[in-house]
């Protein structure tokens, strides 16, 4: 199994664990945040050792901007008085670490669109109100699986 597939498989496990936790307890697992951060750092160090140094610098730059996108979401969570959960921002920071800037932005866009579509269906069927809260992790997992599918099928 190549290093790239490990870097694509770890987020599936990470989002799967946090989807279950988010659905059951309406929070993310801080233990999983720490474990997958350490696992990602180890995988990145291994990949940087194997790859061309120039590619490693570009990878690190993309990771830094991906993490910055998560930090901005976390700040938005604080500014919105919890409309977006802090855990969602923390998970986005870890995902930015794994995916880099452009992929984490696609992930967030897909997550918000999927969540909005599902919320609209719930409103239309009168199963939820305007102030209802939906967990973001299941939609992030769905969006990430879609992102991986696009990468495999279209070669993104």
Do 123 and 130 contact (CB within 8 A), yes or no? yes
pTM: 0.88
CA distance 152 to 40: 21
Task: Name residue, tokens 């305007």.
Answer: 130
pLDDT at 75: 94
pLDDT of 20 strictly over 90 = yes
pLDDT at 154: 84
pLDDT of 2 strictly over 70 = no
Q: What is the pLDDT averaged over residues 45-69?
A: 75
pLDDT at 87: 92
Compute φ and ψ for 15, nearest 5 degrees.
-70, -35
- For the chain, what percent of residues have pLDDT higher than 70? 90
């Amino acid at each position: 199994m190549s290093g790239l597939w490990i870097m694509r498989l770890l987020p599936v496990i990470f989002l799967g664990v946090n989807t279950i936790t988010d659905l059951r307890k309406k929070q993310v697992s801080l233990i999983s945040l720490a474990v997958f951060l350490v696992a990602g750092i180890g995988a990145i160090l291994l990949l940087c050792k194997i790859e061309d140094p120039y590619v490693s610098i570009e990878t690190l730059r993309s990771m830094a901007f991906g993490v910055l996108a998560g930090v901005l979401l976390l700040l938005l969570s604080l500014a919105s008085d919890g409309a977006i959960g802090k855990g969602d921002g923390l998970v986005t920071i870890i995902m930015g670490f794994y995916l880099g800037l452009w992929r984490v932005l696609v992930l967030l866009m897909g997550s918000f669109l999927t969540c909005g579509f599902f919320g609209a269906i719930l409103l239309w069927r009168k199963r939820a109100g305007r102030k209802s809260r939906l967990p973001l992790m299941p939609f992030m997992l769905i969006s990430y699986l879609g992102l991986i599918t696009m990468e495999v099928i279209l070669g993104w």
